[in-house]
Amino acid sequence: SWTTGNIVEEQVARIRAQVGNSRVICGLSGGVDSAVAAALVQRAVGDQLTCVFVDHGLLREGEAEQVERDFVAATGVNLYVANEQERFLSALAGVSDPETKRKIIGREFIRAFEEAERAIMSKAEAEGEPIRFLVQGTLYPDVVESGGGEGAANIKSHHNVGGLPEDMKFELVEPLRALFKDEVRAVGAELGLPAEIVGRQPFPGPGLGIRIVGDVTQERLDLLRRADAIARAELTSAGLDDEVWQMPVVLLADVRSVGVQGDGRTYGHPIVLRPVSSEDAMTADWSRLPYDLLARISNRITNEVDGINRVVLDVTSKPPGTIEWE
Ligand code: XMP
């Protein structure tokens, strides 16, 4: 019978046949697809693989550590970390238009990845073993969506921060091409990846950069990261991670409202909760979360995150609203 173990064995054999003794590079985004693809390749060819993680500073609380510490501990992979938080903050300074933010983040991501790649390449070449292959976490639905043929891997290249340049000199390794998302998660679990990585809900490549309505600053990122961590922790302890497709937490950085807290008046920012249920993100409905859960999230965020004095719930379906606010 067809088990997850079979899938792992078959993919490992295919990867070995394709790659031989060559070196391989793989970008990690913090998401489940790139992590599982990398873990499969690691299982197949071990030290021939080098993973690259560009930390753009737009991930949620704990996510960089999940890659740098937990993923490495689970797989033993060679990881090259590019700490690029400053690069992204300065490129985004003063920018509030959503599509401009996406373009900037996408462009800087490619530049940062290419710089990391060059550093790894020159080391590999010095050792007489140039890198020939690039791993991509393309899933079966991506292949279908683009009409099937070769080159399907590039379907999301303008959309995803993981998108890579067209003039790529690498051959692609795509071990997830035949799999659906739930199979990818099962393979990840089979390979021993941490539950936080395997069970991660969808999260946009441009990250928290498109969840701050207004321009992106370090201070705003810190506020949003703390509010988001509280909301996610409460959703998880309510046992609703599977029921909720994703729950963007959005900082309305350009909006302030008057409040009263402790011994005085506040003038702070609102946080929007955007829990949705969906099959495929093309359409969505707002999730009817229990009131007591919403109350807990609201109380905790307003009490624990200085500068946030109001929590609001988005009750718009998609359409007409999109899932993200930007
Ligand atoms: P929207 O907001 O269009 O989102 O309803 C649909 C799904 O796509 C995700 N999303 C993105 N993912 N880069 C990504 O990789 C992006 O620029 C981007 N924008 C939205 C969103 O989180 C939801 O799952």
**Do the domain assignments include residue 74?**
yes
Q: Is the pLDDT of residue 150 over 90?
A: no
Q: What is the mean pLDDT of the chain?
A: 93
User: What CATH number is attached to the domain comprising 49?
Assistant: 3.40.50.620
**Do the domain assignments include residue 153?**
yes
Percentage of residues in the chain having pLDDT higher than 90: 87
| pLDDT for the residue numbered 164 | 54
Number of separate domains in the chain: 2
* CA quadruple 316, 304, 197, 289: dihedral sign: negative
Regarding the beta carbon of 16 and ligand 1, being less than 6 Å apart is answered: no
Regarding the beta carbon of 181 and ligand 1, being less than 6 Å apart is answered: no
Regarding the beta carbon of 85 and ligand 1, being less than 6 Å apart is answered: no
**Do the domain assignments include residue 117?**
yes
Q: Within this chain, do residues 12 and 81 fall inside the same structural domain, yes or no?
A: yes
Ligand 1 centre to CA of 220 (Å) is: 21
Among the ranges given (106-110, 122-126, 147-151), the one the predictor scored with the smallest mean pLDDT: 147-151
**Do the domain assignments include residue 121?**
yes
Which two three-digit tokens encode residue 17? 């046949």
Which residue has the CA at smallest separation from atom 16 of ligand 1? 204
Which residue has the CA at smallest separation from atom 7 of ligand 1? 281
| pLDDT for the residue numbered 2 | 77
Regarding the beta carbon of 159 and ligand 1, being less than 6 Å apart is answered: yes
| pLDDT for the residue numbered 145 | 77
Q: Is the pLDDT of residue 149 over 90?
A: no
| pLDDT for the residue numbered 124 | 86
Choose the final residue of a domain: 136, 170, 198: 198
Q: Is the pLDDT of residue 294 over 50?
A: yes
Residue 163's pLDDT band, with cuts at 50, 70 and 90, is low
Tell me whether 0.90 is exceeded by the ipTM: yes
Burial of 282 by CB count in 10 Å (0-12 exposed, 13-18 middle, 19+ buried)? exposed
Q: Within this chain, do residues 66 and 111 fall inside the same structural domain, yes or no?
A: yes
Q: In which element (H, E) is residue 113 found?
A: helix 98-126
Atom of ligand 1 nearest to the CA of 318: 5
Phi, psi of 55 (to 5 degrees): -90, 105
- Domain around 277: 211-313
Choose the final residue of a domain: 163, 198, 233: 198
Q: Are strands 78-83 and 212-213 parallel, antiparallel or unpaired?
A: unpaired
* CA quadruple 290, 277, 59, 44: dihedral sign: positive
**Do the domain assignments include residue 204?**
no
* 40 close to 148: Cβ distance less than 8 angstroms: no
Choose the final residue of a domain: 154, 176, 198: 198
Please compute the mean of the pLDDT values over residues 48-68 and round it to a whole number. 98
The rounded distance, in Å, linking the Cα atoms of 301 and 313 is 13
Q: Within this chain, do residues 70 and 163 fall inside the same structural domain, yes or no?
A: yes
The rounded distance, in Å, linking the Cα atoms of 303 and 18 is 55
User: What CATH number is attached to the domain comprising 283?
Assistant: 3.30.300.10
Q: How much is the pTM?
A: 0.92
Q: Is the pLDDT of residue 134 over 70?
A: yes
